[in-house]
Structure 1
């Protein structure tokens, strides 16, 4: 299969409409339809079920959509990493470190200082992102290394080193009755009236159904909590960011959160190796 064919198929599979897919690709519809039919003939399978009113994926089409996205991501990542390697070879080395905005702030500051003191350290660009985005940015080559948080982020396919593990707390408006307790349970948090847990974006950008507010970052979340519109269960280290109108109480039965540093297994970057060494020494 050619990259172009995969791009065409993924566009149709995501739009489930040949006209919209053609517009997205910047081509006319007839050559797009021909390319998909040619791809089906070559594979010997039906990828799409077409009627005069709808387009749906077959089981084979669903598999190719998943595999095709991964293949296109790999091609894009190879392009980005190759260009960055070329820049490094011409005397412009650098690293891109991605982390979730508001997470592991204290660790990140210590890590950057420790790495800067290393012989041969290069410039580190820090890319802050929303929840669940670090993994995607590392996979598609926009980042060289990432701070991920288990069990929320997937480390499948990456090399990793565990840095530290911590408990979780529920963040509440200051003065809330639960803030007088030494600890609470997840059942206590779930039963809080008028303070629903937030809904973070999923990998595809959509939100799960539920009463909680849609949030994209901790600044937005903390404002909602202070206003008495939400609560949140977060890693213990979030205490360092809490304003005076917020309070945190340990949640005894919440799963521990482990922060790991992750990088692509095929990386041969000395800079990445140096950053990982600095992180594990911390």
Structure 2
């Protein structure tokens, strides 16, 4: 199969309409129809049901849609990574993605230590919102990521554990509980006056408080007394006006990991991972 055929099929399968799919692809409808028919002959069966009511997917078509999306994502990711590996002037050597405001001290040490290594390449750092590191890594926008288990999934990735830490409740500094020596998870259900932060879809679970998508928004809302959050202990290193941290003794530990695609053969990436594990 050719990637062109897969792109044609995905367009038709998503639009369920040949004319709309042709317009989306910028081609005429007859060559699109011929390409889909040729693909069906090659695969040995119908991918689409065509009738007077429109177009629908067969069982085989549903399988191919899922597989084609994965294959096309892999092709796009391969192109992005290859361009970076080619070392063109406008492309960085490696792209590292991390959640904004997370593991800042570790990231600073890692970048400084790697830059001192012989043969190190330029590392571009992308800081993203909560839960966005994995998608950046999987679709080729990044070569390597700092992730945080159990909140971030490392399924389908290679990874090395870097540091494991407990968690703290991040509260408005003026809150009565901000002076406590510690808290436990059952206590968090009864914190008066401030609701738990609500995390975006795909991130950590949350409660009735405002939804947050990045650390700047998170700390500002906590400082305003509108919510609280439970974060890794390294959040204590973040200096923000109007917040306080209290250890949560029985909260699950959080492990920061460095993760990368398992098929990567980049020597620069291998050197960065070695530096991270040495730290």
Q: Same fold (TM over 0.5)?
A: yes
Kindly indicate whether residue 82 of structure 2 is the aligned counterpart of residue 79 of structure 1.
no
Match of 2:231 in 1: 234
Kindly indicate whether residue 276 of structure 2 is the aligned counterpart of residue 279 of structure 1.
yes
Aligned residues: 277
Deviation at 1:227, TM superposition (A): 2.1
How far apart, in 2, do the equivalents of 1:108 and 1:213 lie? 28
Deviation at 1:42, TM superposition (A): 4.0
Q: 1:262 aligns with which of 249, 259, 273?
A: 259
Match of 2:160 in 1: 161
Is the Cα–Cα contact under 8 Å of residues 131 and 201 in structure 1 kept in the other structure? Answer: no
Match of 1:246 in 2: 243
How far apart, in 2, do the equivalents of 1:256 and 1:233 lie? 11
For residue 127 of structure 1, give the secondary structure of its aligned residue in structure 2: strand
Gaps of 5+ in 1: none
Is the Cα–Cα contact under 8 Å of residues 199 and 212 in structure 1 kept in the other structure? Answer: no
Is the Cα–Cα contact under 8 Å of residues 170 and 243 in structure 2 kept in the other structure? Answer: yes
How far apart, in 2, do the equivalents of 1:270 and 1:217 lie? 32
For residue 156 of structure 1, give the secondary structure of its aligned residue in structure 2: coil
Is the Cα–Cα contact under 8 Å of residues 198 and 206 in structure 2 kept in the other structure? Answer: no
TM-score by length of 2: 0.83
Kindly indicate whether residue 215 of structure 2 is the aligned counterpart of residue 218 of structure 1.
yes
RMSD: 3.1
Written as runs of structure 1 = structure 2, the 5 A alignment for 1:87-126 is: 87=87, 94-126=93-125
1:209–1:135 distance in 2 versus 1, CA, 3 Å: closer
Deviation at 1:209, TM superposition (A): 10
Deviation at 1:86, TM superposition (A): 2.3
Deviation at 1:200, TM superposition (A): 1.6
TM-score by length of 1: 0.82
Gaps of 5+ in 2: none
